[in-house]
Each structure stands twice: as C-alpha cells, then as structure tokens.
Amino acid sequence: MERELYFKRNKAQEESLNLYQYDSFPKAFRVQVFHILADVFYSPEDLEVRSLRGDVRINISSGDLQKFLLNIDEEMSTVCKKFSREKGRLSIKGPTNKVSTKSSYQSILEFFISEQDTDDFLTILEMVCNVVENKTSEFDFGKREDAYVISKKAIDELNQRFYEHNIGYQYENGQIVRVDSEFIHTESVHPALQLLSNPLYKGAQEEFLKAHEHYRHGRYDSALSDCLKAFESTMKIILDKHGWEYDKNRDTASRLINCCIRNELIPKFWTDHFTSLNNMLASSIPTPRNKLSGHGKGNKTVEVPEHLIQYVLHMTASTIVFLVKAEETLN
C-alpha cells in the first residue's frame, strides 16, 4: 500500500489532535466574516443609494428598508465610537489595519479584512456579534419577519468557521471565549454556559465568563479567582433557592460543599460511589486558587502555569453542570 505524502499525514494528524491557533486569522476566514455580516446587514456592492428615498437595491426580502439602514448605521457607529474611545483613537482606523472609509459599517468590514491585532479583531467581532444577537434579531430593528432566524444562522456560521479554520474561539452567551479542546468545550464549557444562562444564575454566569476573559488575556491568577467565585456563587444560589442554611458571610467553598451534601443535593445513595467527591470538589477548584492566587505573594512571584488554569476552568465547568443538573432533579 502506497504511503501518504508527509504534508497530508501531518495535516490529518493535526486535525485529529484538534490543535487550535489563537493569534492569526486566515484570509479565507476574514472573507467569510465579511459574507456573514453581509447576510445579516448588507453587502456594500449590493447597495446603491441615491438617497434613502431614492433608488435602492439591496438583498432584503421584506421589512422597512429605511428603518433598517438607519438602525445599522446607528449600531455600527456606536461600536466604532466605543472602541475608539477605549483605544484612545479618533476612529477605528489604526496602525494595524487598513481602514479607509468613513462609513461606520464599511469601516468595520474593512477592519475585519485587514486588522492584524488579535485582541482588537476579537473585540470588534464580539461587539458586532452582540448587535447581531440582541438587536438585528428583533423584529423592530427592520421589520423583517425572519430577523431572528437570520441572526441565529449568522452566529452559528461564525462558530462553525472558527472551528473549520482551527481558530480556538467560540461566541457563547454574548462573549467570545477561548477553546482549548473541542471535546471538553462541547461536553463541559458549553453546557455550563447554557445552564448559567438561566437568569437565576446570572451572577455565576458573569463570574464564569470573566474567568474566560482573564484566561484569554493571560491573567491566570484573576481567572482562578473568578473560577472560585462562579463555583461558590452556583452553590449559594442553589442553597438560597431551597432555603438551606449557611453563613453567607463566612462559609467557604468546602463548607458550602458540605451543606450541599448534607441537604442531599448529592443523593445519599450515591455515597458508596462518590466517597471522594467532596475532596475532589474542594481540591480541584478552591485549593489551586488559595495557594496561587487568593493570598499575598510576599517577595516571591508565583507563576500560574497555563495547563493549571485550563484544568481549573474545565473542572469548574464540569462541576457547575453537575450541581445545576443535580438541583434540577430535586424539583
């Protein structure tokens, strides 16, 4: 049997290992982002405007076209102004992109084609996705009957394009999060975010998303702290929901865990199979944080290794899923 050439074997191996890259965006991906936005909003090539009351040709099957265009301009202008203010610029044009046009929407399209700074690229992309998810998905944005379907399809396609190009990010719950393993993300992180999207768990959701944001920017000690906060908040929310007593000001994670076990959030008939669950929960999340992040470092700098924060993030997600699912069985 003829052996496959090296580059084919190597590509297959990389795909099987699901190796992600985080610092560059291929041209094809950038163009696909352009097309995704064009499907939600419009493509400049398809728009010929003499005036908002003049001859207009655009790929919009139904709705109030004038309102649609005005709302797009307003939302994209807001994105540009907010980003520019935070970056200390007069516009989104900067040294790492080739933005030339003055139109906010077209500037953003040029930005996605040319921007070389990873954080800036993802920041604008996240902001625009927020508009797609929360604004254009509403009927009133442009009186489009299929507005929600168009917006959802766009977000789904973006996440699929991330995956296709082995780019280690996904847009989840209003935020771009870093993905280290597709299997772990699918089996723990994504379910955790879905469960925390329940308004009841809003505080825990915000802390868990902050942990991912810190992780993406390399702030590992802060990520550890927010993992613990999300973990503790999830337990406190469940305890409060059922009126189970605990000291809201003094109880640490280990005491909260004991309270959950005492109230059979973890059923007693599982005891034989989960005798070490308490130790696992207590050691996998609170202990690394307490030793590496939660206390003063004195004269010694403590470096938090990336593999540790990956483990804690994934363990936090898995534990949150377990706790919320266990609570659901009590209702």
d(CA 198, CA 328): 12
Give the amino acid at 21: Q
Q: Are residues 197 and 151 in the same domain?
A: no
Nearest of 267, 302, 266 to residue 281 by alpha carbon = 266
Q: How many residues does the chain have?
A: 331
Residue 319: CATH number of its domain: 1.20.120
Q: Are residues 28 and 164 in the same domain?
A: yes
Q: Are residues 30 and 81 in the same domain?
A: yes
Q: Radius of gyration (Cα) for the chain, nearest Å? A: 24
Helix, coil or strand: residue 301? coil
Q: Are residues 158 and 267 in the same domain?
A: no
Q: Does residue 6 lie in a domain region?
A: no
Q: Are residues 117 and 203 in the same domain?
A: no
Q: Are residues 78 and 129 in the same domain?
A: yes
133 lies in which domain range?
Answer: 21-169
Helix, coil or strand: residue 93? coil
Q: Which of the 8 DSSP states describes residue 274? A: -
Q: Are residues 148 and 35 in the same domain?
A: yes
Q: Are residues 125 and 242 in the same domain?
A: no
Domain count across the chain: 2
First-to-last C-alpha distance (Å) of the chain: 60
Which residue's entry shows tokens 């795909």? 15
pLDDT tens digits in sequence order for the chain, 331 residues long = 555 565 555 554 444 334 567 888 999 999 999 999 999 998 776 654 433 434 444 545 556 788 888 999 999 999 999 999 999 999 999 999 999 877 899 999 999 999 999 999 999 999 999 999 999 999 989 888 889 999 999 999 999 899 888 788 999 888 898 876 554 556 567 778 788 888 899 899 889 888 888 887 778 878 888 888 888 899 999 999 999 999 988 888 778 888 888 888 876 666 454 445 455 545 555 556 566 665 555 555 556 677 777 777 888 888 888 889 889 888 6
Nearest of 203, 199, 225, 195 to residue 213 by alpha carbon = 225
Q: Are residues 29 and 165 in the same domain?
A: yes
Q: Does residue 3 lie in a domain region?
A: no
* Domain final residue pick, 169, 201, 218: 169
Q: Does residue 7 lie in a domain region?
A: no
Q: Are residues 293 and 165 in the same domain?
A: no
Q: Does residue 175 lie in a domain region?
A: no
Helix, coil or strand: residue 235? helix
Buried b (16+ CB within 10 A) or exposed e, 212-241: bbbbbeebbbbbbbbbbbbbbbbbbbbbee
